[in-house]
Amino acid sequence: MITAHLPSGYILGRTAQRYGVHPWLMPAAIIGAILPDFDLIWFYLVDNRAIHHHHYWVHIPFFWFVVWLPTMLALRRWKPRWLPPARAFFAGILLHLLLDTVAGDIAWGLPFTDQLFHLFTVPATQSHFVLSYILHWTFSFELLVWALAIYLYAKAKL
């Protein structure tokens, strides 16, 4: 996914708000849904695109599991009021990784295997990968996410 992470976080946040009231549900869902792509700063400015950013630790599901477990246990013990936004945040990260799996490689098997998984391959048919992706049929998933987010936003404003 190229642009659908932000609207997917909005959809997640709107859904989470149906099950609980907390002022940080929406921001937590949106931040979680876009956070893994903050590695693009390193990818472009420091790493000079040496390795694909999906190989960085923020795109590794096992890393997030290792962070999620003690975080949720600690919140449950000492700050249970913050459990709903924490759930939304980690669900946003999981959603990001699932969306990236549609046409991008994610290491779902780490630490047991370093094999990368994706559902569909987008062949390089154009001069730039973004153009190849936009012209591939999987881009329709991205458009559907945007359409649903816009619909939910408009519905909330009525």
Residues 128 and 121: their CA atoms lie apart, in Å, by 15
Interior angle at CA 84, CA 144 and CA 109, nearest 5: 65
pLDDT-based confidence at 150, cuts 50/70/90?
very high
Give the mean model confidence (pLDDT) for residues 104-127.
93
Task: Identify residue 118 by its one-letter amino acid code.
Answer: H
Tell me whether residue 53 is exposed, middle or buried, using C-beta atoms within 10 angstroms of its C-beta: 0 to 12, 13 to 18, 19 or more: buried
Residues 153 and 97: their CA atoms lie apart, in Å, by 24
Residue ranges of domains in the chain: 4-157
Supply the pLDDT for residue 130.
Answer: 87
pLDDT-based confidence at 19, cuts 50/70/90?
confident
Which comes out higher in pLDDT, residue 21 or 5?
A: 5
Residues 48 and 33: their CA atoms lie apart, in Å, by 24
Task: Assess whether pLDDT exceeds 90 at residue 20.
Answer: no
pLDDT-based confidence at 5, cuts 50/70/90?
very high
pLDDT-based confidence at 107, cuts 50/70/90?
very high
Rg (CA), the chain: 17
Q: Which two tokens stand for residue 91?
A: 């669900």
Which comes out higher in pLDDT, residue 84 or 129?
A: 84
Residues 89 and 33: their CA atoms lie apart, in Å, by 7
14-42 per-residue burial string, b: 16 or more CB within 10 A, e: under 16: bebbeeeebebbbebbbbbbbbbbebeee
Mean pLDDT across the chain, nearest whole number?
94
Supply the pLDDT for residue 145.
Answer: 98
Residues 88 and 83: their CA atoms lie apart, in Å, by 9
